[in-house]
């Protein structure tokens, strides 16, 4: 820890939060401490930080809105780079053919971008109404709902690789897949998305309706990481879990939601171990019943292989 402190302070002049519980930065509200947490306020700061971390051989990872992560109880013995409100500028719209292009930095919340577009009569992200997390995380996960997904709206993405080099990639150069953007551990710095002109009232009405459906079908009142498992091809993970009679199954403070079986919720006092044990139980029961191996959609951090 002493060595990490010395190396980090030699490359980073901004504030550092030492030994910060990651439960504070995760929507599931569990997770042990990160050795250090820093929040760059610009692309230039982010580039310098990544290059410095690489130069000194420090372990690090990037976190956005924290809606799709599960950090181990022992935490993360490295530097967490938080892309949050300090890196959240929205620019545009700029007319391009029949569309309107908007560029947004990775730390902007997806909810803020949806509302910003709706207020300006920009249609295209209604499907994302109510999806938590940051724009950067939504790009990396190719977040989607109600038949729409981020890949359909993306025109270009500015990325940073693990060496601290940035590049502007066109949509065609990004191998998006189901709940994945296919670029491994590259960092999203910003994304340019295409919208179309529409009527503000109609766009806002659609957003309200989809948000209402989400409230009715998902356990939004309890801490969770969102959908926990990916849907197997042609199947729904939540339905498989429900048919295996796992709704309400509980280990410690972690429970399979009674409202939507693909949500593992924190009903109070849960640990990361509770969630990991419950995850494995669900996987085992579904595999036994249906021969299907459920794969986590949630990014699991700090757990030994």
Quote the pLDDT of residue 145: 86
Domains of the chain, start order: 2-86 (3.30.43.10), 88-217 (3.30.465.10), 237-301 (3.90.78.10)
SS3 of the chain: the string is CHHHHHHHHHHCCCCCEEEEEHHHHCCCCCCCEEEEEECCCCHHHHHHHHHHHHHCCCCEEEECCCCCEEECCCCEEEEEEECCHHHCCEEEEEEECCEEEEEEECCCEHHHHHHHHHHCCEECCHHHCCCCCEHHHHHHCCCEECCEEHHHCEEEEEEECCCCCEEEEEHHHCCCECCECCCCCCEEEEEEEEEEECCHHHHHHHHHHHHHHHHHHCCCCCCECCCCECCCCCCCHHHHHHHCCCCCCEECCEEECCCCCCCEEECCCCCHHHHHHHHHHHHHHHHHHHCCCCCECCEEECCCC
What digits encode the pLDDT tens for the residues 36-92? 999 999 999 999 999 999 999 999 999 988 888 999 999 999 999 999 888 999 998
Quote the pLDDT of residue 302: 86
Quote the pLDDT of residue 170: 96
Going residue by residue through the chain, which has 305 residues, state the pLDDT in tens, using 9 for 90 and above. 789 999 999 999 999 999 999 999 999 999 999 999 999 999 999 999 999 999 999 999 999 888 889 999 999 999 999 998 889 999 989 998 889 999 999 999 999 999 999 999 999 999 999 888 899 999 999 988 888 999 999 999 999 998 899 999 999 999 999 888 989 889 999 999 999 999 999 999 999 999 999 889 999 899 999 999 999 999 999 999 999 999 999 999 999 999 999 999 999 999 999 999 999 999 999 999 999 999 999 999 987 64
Q: Which residues are tagged catalytic?
A: 179, 227, 297
């Amino acid at each position: 820890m002493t060595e990490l402190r010395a190396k980090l302070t030699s490359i980073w002049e901004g504030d550092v939060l030492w030994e910060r519980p990651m439960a504070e930065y995760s929507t599931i509200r569990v997770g042990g401490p990160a050795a250090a947490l820093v929040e760059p306020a610009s692309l230039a700061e982010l580039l310098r930080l990544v290059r410095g971390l690489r130069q000194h051989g420090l372990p690090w990872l990037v976190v956005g809105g924290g809606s799709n992560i599960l950090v181990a109880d022992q935490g993360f013995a490295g530097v967490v780079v938080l892309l949050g409100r300090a890196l959240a500028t929205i620019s545009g719209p700029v007319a391009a053919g029949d569309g309107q292009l908007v560029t947004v930095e990775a730390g902007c919340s997806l909810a803020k971008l949806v509302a910003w577009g709706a207020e300006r009569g920009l249609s295209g992200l209604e499907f994302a109404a109510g999806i938590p997390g940051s724009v950067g995380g939504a790009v990396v996960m190719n977040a989607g709902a109600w038949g729409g997904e981020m890949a359909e709206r993306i025109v270009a993405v500015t990325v940073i690789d693990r060496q601290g080099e940035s590049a502007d990639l066109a949509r065609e150069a990004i191998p998006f897949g189901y709940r994945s953007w296919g670029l491994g551990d590259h960092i999203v710095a910003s994304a340019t998305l295409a919208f179309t002109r529409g009527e503000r009232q109609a766009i806002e009405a659609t957003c309200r309706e989809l948000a209402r459906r989400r409230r009715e079908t998902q356990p939004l009142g309890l801490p969770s990481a969102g959908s926990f498992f990916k849907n197997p091809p042609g199947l729904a993970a939540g339905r498989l879990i429900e048919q295996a009679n796992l709704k309400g199954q509980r280990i410690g403070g972690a429970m399979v939601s009674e409202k939507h079986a693909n949500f593992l919720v924190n009903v109070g006092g849960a640990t990361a171990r509770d969630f990991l044990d419950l995850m494995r139980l669900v996987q085992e029961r579904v595999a036994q019943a249906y021969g299907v191996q459920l794969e986590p959609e949630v990014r699991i951090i700090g757990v030994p292989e």
